[in-house]
Amino acid sequence: MLEVKDAVVRYGAITALHGISFSVERGEIVTLLGANGAGKSTTLRMLSGLHAPASGQILFEGRDISATKAHDFAALGISHVPEGRRIFPQMSVEENLEMGAFTRRDSVTEDMGRMYETFPILKERRKQLGSNLSGGEQQMLAIARALMAQPKLLLLDEPSMGLAPMIVETIFAIIGDIRSSGTTVLVVEQNASQALRLADRGYVMENGRIAFSDAASTLLHDERVRAVYLGESVES
Amino acid sequence: MGAFGHYLAAHFDTLKLEFWALFVGGVANGFLYGMIAVGYTLVYGVLRLINFAHSEVFMSGGFAGYFVMRALVGQSVPSGFSSVGLILLGIVASGLAGALVATLIERVAYRTLRRRNAPKLAYLISAIGASYFLFNLAGKEFGHLSVSMPQPYINHPVFHIFGAPVEMYYVIILVVSVAMFVLLDRVVATTKLGRGIRAVAQDAETASLMGVNIDRTIAITFIVGGTLGGVAGFLFGLNIGVVYTMGFVPALKAFTAAVLGGIGNLRGAMIGGLILGIFESLCVVFVQAAYIDVVAFGILVLVLLVRPTGILGERLGRSA
């Protein structure tokens, strides 16, 4: 479904991604792991058109989308749940959901009803401003907002960041449900153990490169992963 | 009390009449300031930049209206339906001219810099450059003397408020600006277009992830602000006449109004315009006519010192 070939991303003189290659198959949950600054967020931003690759290719359903502009990605079927949720603070929950469906021309009321079923708390708060929601509620809204575009591929950037462990469980359960309903998921996470338990496959990034990759269940027991990432997250 | 008290008592009726006449004039001016201020505030909302070439949008609207009036108004002052038709034509022409000039400013002075990720100061300078270019071009093409606009209506009092006459000119300003402002307010609050504008104002990058074309949204805010600014130029010119430098002072005052109401805030722009218009008009009674501009810009300095976010604060993002 998604294939990245030797993609390079630069911020001015700094090279953030030194030619990374990976793929995501339809129906999978794939996770990108790595320390801060390894290039995970940059990778997701590249996959939403926020940073065009300086060289290399991004193929989505066989189509080269490396030069596609950010505002055209939603219509392609790629939705991005950005790091820090980025809810529109002065819009109501309902308006945030409507923003998610911005490029759609058909009626969205049915999908909105479905989101309210999946996230009952959002229904309760649908007239409240985005800025008045708790972190967990905002994360649910950010995911629901992205789903309103009816994506084929959902990109999630640090969905567990800053959330209480119980909420994290809920969010990951929802991500599992999203995949079951037919949407492919690429998730970037610091919380490696949670991510690997959910994902099918994982890529480990280091300094703007993909260091290694494997089936998630294998990575979960990989010594390098355990030492570097799981050690931290198990203790916290 | 003493002498001043006796003076007040003796002249109370005259003072009262003068007060209300000036109040009416202030409200009308305030609506015009508000219409111009909307252009500043919309552009600020999405770009976080002040469009210092907006004065020339106003001036172009004035000239567009002038040329239409000159072409269509004959020897005698029209009345009735023909007046309404002429005013509507003037509004359409000045709105189109304003939108066109604003679009040109955006394309030439703003978009080119945005492509290069220029620092904010560069936009300020290019906007001032565009302003000088445009008003000098207008001076060259249309002459350097103020010309009065052929009147498309008879300016008789329509009704009285506390004894003070409210002339047709004020009624036109009131009707046109309220209609345009309410329409704009509703579009921004309730339509998809408006939601896109608010999304860009709140978080441009996330808006683009939702599929909002940022360049297009910015262009639309220039068009909308340009339309209102152009129409304001026409309404202003109906009374005062038009000249190539006509944009400078009203636009600077409208900028003051936008800051007063809370830059980035649509309703704030209108409220700020009204407050400023009424204040400076009443300054004729309470201070001296010569101090009008001192009062207006004194307000700007005061607001910046005391409450830099203005009365309502920045919130183009909000639906209400």
Interchain contact, B315 vs A90, CB within 8 Å = yes
CB atoms within 10 A of CB B209: 30
> In this structure, what token pair is assigned to residue B275?
């407050």
Residue B314 has pLDDT above 80, yes or no: no
C-alpha span between B111 and A61 (Å, rounded)? 33
Interchain contact, B209 vs A82, CB within 8 Å = yes
Nearest to A99 among B195, B213, B315 (CB): B195
Nearest to B210 among A69, A89, A102 (CB): A102
C-alpha span between A7 and A123 (Å, rounded)? 41
C-alpha span between B124 and B132 (Å, rounded)? 12
CA–CA min distance B303, chain A (Å)? 24
Beta strands in chain A (DSSP E): 2-11, 14-24, 29-34, 55-60, 63-64, 78-81, 153-157, 184-189, 201-206, 209-215
- Residues in chain B whose Cβ is within 8 Å of chain A: 192, 195-196, 198-199, 202-203, 205-214, 315, 317-319
> How buried is B6 (Cβ within 10 angstroms: 0-12 exposed, 13-18 middle, 19+ buried)?
exposed
Strands A184-189, A29-34: pairing kind: parallel
Say if CB B261 and CB B272 are below 8 A apart. Answer: yes
Interchain contact, A88 vs B198, CB within 8 Å = yes
Nearest to B211 among A88, A92, A103 (CB): A103
Domain span at A216:
2-235
CA–CA min distance A11, chain B (Å)? 13
Q: pLDDT of A191-214, one tens digit each? A: 888 899 999 999 999 999 999 999
State residue A8 phi and psi, 5-degree precision.
-115, 130
Q: Determine the distance from the C-alpha atom of residue B143 to the mean position of all C-alpha atoms in its chain, rounded to a whole number.
A: 24
> In this structure, what token pair is assigned to residue A57?
């290719």
Q: What is the CATH number of the domain that holds A58?
A: 3.40.50.300
pLDDT at residue A235 in the model: 41
C-alpha span between A229 and A31 (Å, rounded)? 13
Higher pLDDT, B106 or B317: B106
Interchain contact, B319 vs A103, CB within 8 Å = no
> In this structure, what token pair is assigned to residue A203?
């890529």
> In this structure, what token pair is assigned to residue B225?
């602000």
A18-42: burial string, b at 16+ Cβ within 10 Å, e else? ebbebebeeebbbbbbbeeebbbbb
B7-33 average pLDDT score:
86
End-to-end Cα, chain B, rounded Å: 48
**pLDDT > 70 in chain B, percent:** 97
Q: pLDDT of B262-290, one tens digit each? A: 998 999 999 999 999 999 988 877 777 78
Interchain contact, B209 vs A50, CB within 8 Å = yes
CA–CA min distance A108, chain B (Å)? 13
Taking CA atoms, what residue in A is nearest to B202?
Answer: A88
Residue B4 has pLDDT above 80, yes or no: no
pLDDT at residue B316 in the model: 56
C-alpha span between A86 and B140 (Å, rounded)? 50
Residue B307 confidence class, pLDDT cut points 50, 70, 90: confident
Residue B291 confidence class, pLDDT cut points 50, 70, 90: confident
Residues in B closer than 8 angstroms to A100, CB to CB, are 210
Beta-carbon contacts of B190 under 8 Å, excluding residues fewer than 6 positions away, are B319
Taking CA atoms, what residue in B is nearest to A80?
Answer: B209
Residue B319 confidence class, pLDDT cut points 50, 70, 90: very low
Beta bridge partners of A80: A155
The complex scores an ipTM of 0.92
| Residues of chain A under the 70 pLDDT cut | 229-236
Report the number of distinct structural domains present in chain A. Answer: 1
